[in-house]
Structure 1
Amino acid sequence: MRAATVVPIHPVARADKTPQRTSRCSTCAMRALCMPAELSAAELARLDAIICATRSVKRGDTLYRAGDAFHSIYAVRAGSFKTVVMHRDGREHVTGFQIPGEALGLDGVGAGQHSCDAIALEDSAVCIIPFAQLEVICREVKPMQHHIYQMMSSEIVRESSQMMLLGTMSAEQRVATFLLNLSRRFKARGFSAAEFHLRMTREEIGCYLGMKLETVSRMFSKFQRERLVHANGKTIRIVDPEGLARV
């Protein structure tokens, strides 16, 4: 599928939202994060034929909005995103944060339209994966089919974990769980598990964890006093991961 035939999810005139040609999956350094390892050269070539475009998304811009028609899923190639549901009174609820190698857009599979907004936390880029063509490949390439099932299962587990986090954990436990989860995800991508930069604000973290900004800041200060973490602005260093896990 040529890039020119990709239907824009949220039409705008700005050039940075226009799909662009990208390097192929077969030569991408992040392939191990997005694709099953056991694909043959021929199967990778088939994926190369459909995943042929990226989109750049500027900080604060949307990749798609709630209610937009569902056509594609996306793999975060660079940068980071938050997914957001807007309440009727205008309040924002953050439902997740996505970093390189993670998927966006699976919320649209069931109803044929997206149920949330996906907003870039920094200048970012995604690979566009047309879902109709992906389904065809999945019927014929079983490792790819299994990989998509795993992605969907991971979304179910993530949402269940989020419900448990909001429903049963104290403020201290919520922030500790959030930091350890980010640490594991960064480690899986070859980044430092001990020190990383938070692209989201404390307010956005609170919105995700069901806490007020002041409570999030108080928990970070508490962890710093107890020498569990060291916070320097948005840069977080986990000093005592075992102690943080015990929380």
Structure 2
Amino acid sequence: MPALRPLSKTTCSSCGVRELCLSVGMTSEDSERLSKIVPQRVRVRKGAALFHAGDPLRALYAVRFGFFKTTLSSEDGREQLTGFYMGGELLGVDGISDNVHVCDAIALEDSEVCPIQFNQLEKLARELPSLQHNLNRILSREIVRDHEMLLLMGNLNAEERLAAFLLNLSTRMFTRGYSPTAFVLRMTREDIGSYLGLRLETICRAIAYLRDKGVVRVSGRAVEILDIEKLRAMVNGCARDAKRG
């Protein structure tokens, strides 16, 4: 089976994650027009690349289901993980600035995406204010995500970074109708460490810390949040302030 496999065409109105994607809030007629610029769904096997850094921007990719990571590689071969994407989120916006992708997008499990031809998307967005609004919202969300990452790197210690990461996943799971307190991590601990700017051993110590404090229960990649308010307090600095007092 090829790493990328075209599937039959689908419509935005029948998609299970349409309320999180570009078609949210659009009329049935406008949603149908959006569907027409999605040629066909594409299945991406676990470990396969949807696109690589240096590839020309041809489409944005709405994740229908599955999980992806994006990575940047330095000239000396070091890899920095820059984000995780799940159903209802949009991959490929990194290529909009210069019409070339700057990162790799790798499937962390068997996944499915809807390619949206970018030149046609731009044209349609000029005709449909609701689509332009949704596209702007998604681009703004990317900026906010970058700002949150800077906050993680600059102000939080290892345990707080991990707490913020788990809270972010919890919120995104809840938005998709899944349990916000019990879920399976699709990424490795090495991936988490790369994303949070921490070594693997530091991630392991941070997990042990949260486990010993009774905040989470971790078994392999299965995570159960036992005290979500403590997690929030850690990220907000309350735990650190209390310790100083």
Whole-Å Cα distance in 2 between the matches of residues 87 and 37 of structure 1? 37
**Structure-1 residue corresponding to 2:82:** 95
Distance (Å, rounded) in 2 between the aligned partners of 1:78 and 1:110? 26
Please identify runs of 4+ aligned residues in structure 1 that moved more than 6 A: none
Tell me the residue number matched to 2:145: 158
User: CA contact under 8 A between 1:80 and 1:100: conserved in structure 2?
Assistant: yes
Q: What is the one-letter code of the residue matched to 2:104? A: D
Matched residue, 2:201: 214
Q: How does 1:32-181 map to 2 (within 5 A)?
A: 32-181=19-168
What TM-score do the two structures reach when normalised by structure 2? Answer: 0.93
Deviations 1:16-62 (A, max 9, x none): 41432232111112111113433122111111211231111111110
Letter in structure 2 aligned against 1:200: M
Q: How many residues in Structure 1 have an aligned counterpart in Structure 2?
A: 234
Distance between the aligned counterparts of 1:15 and 1:210, measured in 2? 33
Is the aligned partner of 1:185 residue 2:172? yes
Aligned partner of 1:6 in structure 2 is none
Q: Which runs of 5+ in 2 are unaligned?
A: 235-245
Question: Counterparts of 1:161 and 1:239 in 2: how far apart (Å)?
Answer: 24
Shift, 1:235, TM fit? 0.4
CA contact 2:19–2:25 (8 Å) conserved in 1: no
What is the alpha-carbon distance in structure 2 between the residues aligned to residue 52 and residue 184 of structure 1?
31
Contact 2:183 2:222 in 1 (8 A): yes
Matches of 1:36 and 1:23 in 2, distance apart? 13
Summarize the alignment of residues 206-245 of structure 1 with structure 2, pairs less than 5 Å apart: 206-245=193-232
d(CA) in 2 for partners of 1:151, 1:101 = 11
Contact 2:12 2:35 in 1 (8 A): yes
State the TM-score, normalizing by the size of structure 1.
0.92
1:136-173 per-position Cα deviation (integer Å, ceiling 9, x unaligned): 11111101101000111111111111111111211111
Are positions 1:29 and 2:24 aligned together?
Answer: no
SS in 1 for 2:81: strand
Percent of residue pairs identical? 43
Whole-angstrom CA distance in 2 between matches of 1:16 and 1:58:
5
Amino acid at match of 2:145: R
Q: Is the 8 A contact 2:126 2:132 kept in 1?
A: yes
In 2, are the aligned partners of 1:16 and 1:55 still within 8 Å (CA)?
A: no
- Stretch deviating more after TM superposition (176-185 or 47-56): 47-56
